[in-house]
């Protein structure tokens, strides 16, 4: 067991909301960017899709960024695509070479990060910085939620009110698997929750997430009374009838609020499981995590705030 204090995800969510209540992120105005290229890794990629959901944009991740630059070379050369937004909480790892490649392709590089002194920040044309709290490695709630808030402008008090009214079923801890069914307009959260499954539970627990539209496509052919299906709205079809939890959402909830709500629930699930994450995160940060990037320098288990 780790000797470090590794808080559960729901605790981090509450702490971050309190922080943003007193330290709201500056407004990020995207109106002047007509058709940018947006790149990020993991949940930075999904955050980018949320930030630019109402704009025409090209999206890429660390695996297809080079190909994307080549595929859209003609639009870069004729000035249709002028900027590359690079989203990285740390401003390290993949964001460094992505910034270099984007500049070499002739794009203005704009970094969204929580690390103003990072390697990527030193080479991009413009840096938009965000404040964050100290969090266990991989959690990245305050980092990306702050970015989303800077565009959505949601009120923290409304988000906290949703969490305050939340009451989990009495048998919540007895389930062996969990599924989220999200409103279609919050579809970009589904892959973010899938990433949380990998990070916190790996192969030990089934945690699935779909939009209502996706759920109709045979995601629940196999039912199990030990799977709790959590829907945000009425659910008449998916999962065992006695293993459904319907959560009514207020009309004013946005992406930051939905991220807080779903991450909070994942933290509640985490609290009821063996300490898979805590038992493995120090090894990962010291060994296979950095070595996969060709480095022997350990990652910080608790990533400092700023």
pLDDT band at 197 (very low <50, low <70, confident <90, very high): very high
CA–CA gap between residue 204 and residue 274 (Å, rounded): 9
13 within a domain of the structure (yes/no): yes
Q: What is the per-residue burial (b if ≥16 Cβ within 10 Å, else e) of 43-81?
A: bbbbbbbbbbeeeebbbbbbeebeebbeebeeebeeeeb
2 within a domain of the structure (yes/no): no
Same domain flag for 162 and 93: no
1 within a domain of the structure (yes/no): no
Same domain flag for 61 and 204: no
What pLDDT is attached to residue 1?
Answer: 46
Same domain flag for 90 and 181: no
Same domain flag for 114 and 161: no
Same domain flag for 53 and 141: yes
For residue 232, what is the domain's CATH number? Answer: 3.40.50.10490
Contacts of 62 (CB under 8 A, 6+ apart): 39, 41, 94, 98
Please report how many Cα atoms fall inside a 13 Å half-sphere around the Cα of residue 274, on the Cβ side.
9
106 within a domain of the structure (yes/no): yes
Same domain flag for 164 and 203: yes
44 within a domain of the structure (yes/no): yes
Same domain flag for 128 and 237: no
- DSSP H helices, 121-227, are 141-152, 156-165, 189-200, 212-215
Q: Which tens digits make up the pLDDT trace of 20-69?
A: 999 999 999 999 999 999 999 999 999 999 999 999 999 999 999 999 99
Measuring CA to CA, which residue among 112, 66, 110, 118 is closest to residue 92? 118
Count how many residues are written for the chain. Answer: 306
pLDDT band at 280 (very low <50, low <70, confident <90, very high): very high
For residues 202-224, average pLDDT: 97
Q: Which domain holds residue 264?
A: 156-277
How many other C-beta atoms are found inside a 10 Å radius of the C-beta of residue 231? 22
CA–CA gap between residue 90 and residue 135 (Å, rounded): 12
What pLDDT is attached to residue 5?
Answer: 87
Same domain flag for 144 and 17: yes
Same domain flag for 232 and 183: yes
The total domain count for the chain is: 2
Q: Which tens digits make up the pLDDT trace of 84-138?
A: 999 999 999 999 999 999 999 999 999 999 999 999 999 999 999 999 999 999 9
Same domain flag for 133 and 236: no
Same domain flag for 94 and 237: no
């Amino acid at each position: 067991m780790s000797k470090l204090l590794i808080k559960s995800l729901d605790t981090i969510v509450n702490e971050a909301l309190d922080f943003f209540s007193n330290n709201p992120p500056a407004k990020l105005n995207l109106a002047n960017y007509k058709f940018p290229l947006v790149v990020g890794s993991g949940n930075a990629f999904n955050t980018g899709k949320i930030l630019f959901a109402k704009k025409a944009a090209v999206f890429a991740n660390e695996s297809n960024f080079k190909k994307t630059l080549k595929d859209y070379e003609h639009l870069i050369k004729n000035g249709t695509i002028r900027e590359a937004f690079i989203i990285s909480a740390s401003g390290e790892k993949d964001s460094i070479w992505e910034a270099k490649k984007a500049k070499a392709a002739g794009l203005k590089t704009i970094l969204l990060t929580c690390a103003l002194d990072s390697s990527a920040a030193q080479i991009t044309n413009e840096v938009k910085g965000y404040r964050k709290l100290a969090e266990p490695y991989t959690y990245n709630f305050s980092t990306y939620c702050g970015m989303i808030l800077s565009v959505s402008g949601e009120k923290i008090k409304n988000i906290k009110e949703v969490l305050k009214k939340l009451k989990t079923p009495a048998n919540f801890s007895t389930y062996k698997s969990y599924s989220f069914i999200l409103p279609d307009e919050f579809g970009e959260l589904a892959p973010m929750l899938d990433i949380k499954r990998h990070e916190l539970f790996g192969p030990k627990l089934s945690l699935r997430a779909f939009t209502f539209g996706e759920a109709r496509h045979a995601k629940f052919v196999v039912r199990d009374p030990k799977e709790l299906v959590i829907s945000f709205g009425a659910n008449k079809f998916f999962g065992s009838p006695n293993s459904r939890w319907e959560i009514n959402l207020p009309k004013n909830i946005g992406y930051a609020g939905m991220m807080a709500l779903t991450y909070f629930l994942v933290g509640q699930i985490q609290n009821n499981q063996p300490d898979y994450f805590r038992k493995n995160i120090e090894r990962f940060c010291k060994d296979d995590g950095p070595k996969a990037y060709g480095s022997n320098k350990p990652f910080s288990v608790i990533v400092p705030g700023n």
